[in-house]
Amino acid sequence: MTARPPVYEKFREVQEELDRSGAAIFRDHDGVESLVIRSPYSINYIHSYAEDSEFFLALADGKLRGSKCTAKKCGYVYATPRGHCMECGAPTQWVDLPLKGRLHSWTTCHFGSEAFLKETPYNLALVEFDGVGSVLLARLKDCTESELYVGMPVEARFSPTPKYSITDVWFVPARSEA
């Protein structure tokens, strides 16, 4: 008596449903079927902003906080949270950044992660500020790519419903240069 391979039929319901959604490929180039399953999962990632907390708390209050080197001979100002100066290694202290700046550079994203798909294509800008040595990366809204130029005045906007994320701030073209 020769052993016959078992025949499994029940799984085809799942496979067909996956196939309709375009999610599954279940034959290899030799026509061999493989089992494909759908396993949704989610995760709550709880983590501390630690010394960066003030930056995100300030966004919720409509403020941009940068870091200034405390060494008198240096005094470098960063547009992002920094515990210590990258020029001289001295500790930094928090400083308010201007809410108006200029477009240093940008890229237009024609694809993005799931959170940004609805607003794709969107512009990501590097914003420079008077008296600040480094730039801030944020979205630039209310304008099209063809309107953008290096040095364009921009101003910050803040989310009325903060998520304590860098997406709580974005920039728009400045209404006036005053």
Rg (alpha carbons) of the chain, rounded to whole number: 25
Looking at beta carbons only, is 92 or 123 nearer to Zn ion? 92
Q: How many degrees, rounded to 5, is the angle at CA 40 between CA 38 and CA 43?
A: 155
Distance in Å, CB of 66 to Zn ion, minimum? 13
Distance in Å, CB of 91 to Zn ion, minimum? 9
CA–CA dist 110, 101 (Å, integer): 25
Distance in Å, CB of 130 to Zn ion, minimum? 19
**What does each C-alpha distance from 93 to 4, 24, 78, 97, 156 come to in angstroms?**
75, 53, 10, 12, 22
CA–CA dist 65, 158 (Å, integer): 13
Distance in Å, CB of 79 to Zn ion, minimum? 15
Looking at beta carbons only, is 68 or 100 nearer to Zn ion? 68
Contact residues: Zn ion, CB under 5 A: 69, 71, 74, 76, 85, 87-88, 90
Looking at beta carbons only, is 23 or 88 nearer to Zn ion? 88
Looking at beta carbons only, is 74 or 166 nearer to Zn ion? 74
Looking at beta carbons only, is 75 or 162 nearer to Zn ion? 75
> How do strand 100-109 and strand 136-140 relate by DSSP bridges?
unpaired
Distance in Å, CB of 75 to Zn ion, minimum? 7
CA–CA dist 35, 37 (Å, integer): 7
b or e along 122-133 (b: 16 or more beta carbons within 10 Å of the residue's beta carbon)? bbbbbbbbeebb
